[in-house]
């Protein structure tokens, strides 16, 4: 199998297993740095940011891993069956079973929240000193999104629809409506950081558009204050929206990730 062919593996217990599609290319040098991409809500591993980083990694001899959560892209499972718990389980299995050596974890939007949850679970298991996560790059991180960016801002009609039907279809400027389920909201409560301090044990770089209409830029400023023990730098892109996929945005992302590999 070549590095560019789709690979799959199963995650989850019998009766709830999901076939997860991924691409993995190891670093050219044994023990070399790898990039670990975590996409956003309803995004897939073929997105412009993931592919720009894949090309950069290939040209730099870095390893690269990208994958689709269940219900996303070409992975198995229904999107409406997805929860933060399931997508985190898949991410942890991908990280533990398909990567090796030092990793720079890059999370976009919901992937930013999942990236912080992944780091938390990883260092709880192995300890900060043995962590393989050497840096975090977060793009418009939607931390605690099921509460802060969904439930807390839903009007009564939307909450009633969720209660009655178990699902709400929110219009999206990026294509088909976002399907938000009651199970997603309820499950998300298990993973909220709230106002607690967050410790990653590694440098953190955050890119945030000021014109982001999905994740307010003030949320990233607040996140910086809660990463109190880490080396954190926040870059605000004044004319940037949520997607941050313009040519200049992708160039900035690649520069920031390249710098993260050198820390």
> Which CATH number is 19's domain given?
3.40.50.1820
Quote the pLDDT of residue 80: 96
In angstroms, what CA-CA distances link 120 with 117, 218, 228? 5, 23, 15
Task: Give how many domains the chain has, as a whole number.
Answer: 1
Residue 169 lies in a domain: no
Residue 42 lies in a domain: yes
Q: Is there a contact between 205 and 138 (Cβ–Cβ < 8 Å)?
A: yes
Quote the pLDDT of residue 1: 38
Residue 254 lies in a domain: yes
Residue 168 lies in a domain: no
Residue 179 lies in a domain: no
Tens of pLDDT, residues 54-87: 999 999 999 999 999 999 999 999 999 999 999 9
Q: Is there a contact between 120 and 191 (Cβ–Cβ < 8 Å)?
A: no
Give the residue numbers spanning the domain of 255: 7-144+201-260
Residue 233 lies in a domain: yes
Residue 166 lies in a domain: no
Confidence tier at 3 by pLDDT (50, 70, 90): very low
Residue 46 lies in a domain: yes
pLDDT above 70 covers what percent of the chain? 98
């Amino acid at each position: 199998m070549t590095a560019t062919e789709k690979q799959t593996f199963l995650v989850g217990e019998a009766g709830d297993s999901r076939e997860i599609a991924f691409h993995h290319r190891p670093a050219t040098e044994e023990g070399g740095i790898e990039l670990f991409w975590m996409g956003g809500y309803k995004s897939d591993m073929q997105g412009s940011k993931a592919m720009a980083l894949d090309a950069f990694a290939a040209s730099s001899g870095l390893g690269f891993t990208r994958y689709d959560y269940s219900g996303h892209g070409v992975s198995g499972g229904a999107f409406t069956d997805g929860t933060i718990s399931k997508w985190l389980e898949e991410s942890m299995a991908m990280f533990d079973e398909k990567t090796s050596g030092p990793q720079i974890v890059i999370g976009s939007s919901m992937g930013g929240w999942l990236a912080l949850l992944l780091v938390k679970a990883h260092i709880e298991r192995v300890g900060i000193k043995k962590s393989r996560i050497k840096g975090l790059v977060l793009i418009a991180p939607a931390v605690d999104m099921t509460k802060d960016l969904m439930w807390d801002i839903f009007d009564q009609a939307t909450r009633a629809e969720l209660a009655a039907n178990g699902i709400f279809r929110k219009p999206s400027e990026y294509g088909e409506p976002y399907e938000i389920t009651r199970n997603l909201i309820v499950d998300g409560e298990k993973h909220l950081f709230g106002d607690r301090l967050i410790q990653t044990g590694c440098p953190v770089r955050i890119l945030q558009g000021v014109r982001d209409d999905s994740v307010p830029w003030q949320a990233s400023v607040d996140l910086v204050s809660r990463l109190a023990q880490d080396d954190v730098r926040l870059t605000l892109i004044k004319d940037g929206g949520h997607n941050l996929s313009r040519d200049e945005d992708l160039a900035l992302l690649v520069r920031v990730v390249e710098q993260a590999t050198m820390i």
